[in-house]
Amino acid sequence: MRTLKYAILGLINRESMTGYDLMKVFNMELVNFWYAKHSQIYPELKKLTDEKLITYEILPEDEKLRKKIYSITEKGRQEFHNWILQQDLLEPTPKDIFRLKAYFIESLSNAKILNHFHYQLTQRQEKLEKLQNNMQILLDSKDISKIQSPEYGDYIVLKSAIKREKSYIEWLNECIEEVTTNTRIFVDERRP
């Protein structure tokens, strides 16, 4: 399935956009759970146009540059709606290079292990702070009270990203404590 196809259809369904506008939304809003490169977006826009799911209007910007404003067609809106209604199977676990390295941790000294975990912790804390700032901006500037709105969708996905980072930070702190104290911290979730 071309998931990027539906991400683009969903964004253009919200409002008409240029390829550059789409890139900005991917880099600023969708980046917390989905990403796409410039080299993926423009070919996908061509495919969507060829499939008659979107159309575009060319607007002159200056003498040399022209920009295309993409809009969704009724066929595109129907295909996007059908996709939204599909029940999805659980995706495979996303790749995580740091966790892969942690899996092979036995080849490092405790000092190097702690160095890696502290570095990752700092990165995750910075990411969490950025997400929390984005949440504050969202709450200060948008009305999320209406569930059938783009703003509510932005809110729940951002909330999920914040929870994900908090969980990752909790795991990192536990690992740091275990390596530092040479004790294991495991809570058996099966017990009441």
The 10s digit of each residue's pLDDT in 57-100 is 998 777 677 889 999 999 999 999 999 999 888 888 788 999 99
Q: Crossing angle of helices 19-28/3-14, nearest 10°? A: 100
Average the pLDDT over each of 3-7, 44-48, 58-62, 100-104 and give the range with the smallest value. 58-62
Q: What is the value of pTM for the model shown?
A: 0.79
Mean pLDDT for 9-36 is 90
Neighbour count for residue 142 (Cβ, 10 Å): 14
How far is residue 26 from each of residues 31, 34, 65, measured CA to CA in Å?
A: 6, 7, 23
Residues 6+ apart with CB under 8 A from 131: 32, 158, 161, 162, 165
Residues 151, 138: contact at Cβ < 8 Å? yes
| Mean of the per-residue pLDDT values of the chain | 91
Please determine, for residue 192, whether its predicted confidence score (pLDDT) is greater than 70. Answer: no
- So what's the pLDDT on residue 31? 81
pLDDT in tens, 126-143: 999 999 999 999 999 999
Neighbour count for residue 94 (Cβ, 10 Å): 7
∠ Cα 69 86 19 (to 5°): 15
Q: How far apart are CA 87 and CA 13, in angstroms?
A: 20
pLDDT winner (highest mean) among 4-18, 19-33, 60-74, 82-96: 4-18
Please determine, for residue 191, whether its predicted confidence score (pLDDT) is greater than 70. Answer: no
Which pLDDT band holds residue 189 (cuts at 50, 70, 90)?
low
- So what's the pLDDT on residue 188? 65
- H helices of the chain, where? 3-14, 19-28, 38-50, 74-85, 97-103, 110-141, 150-181
- So what's the pLDDT on residue 187? 67
Q: How far apart are CA 7 and CA 13, in angstroms?
A: 10
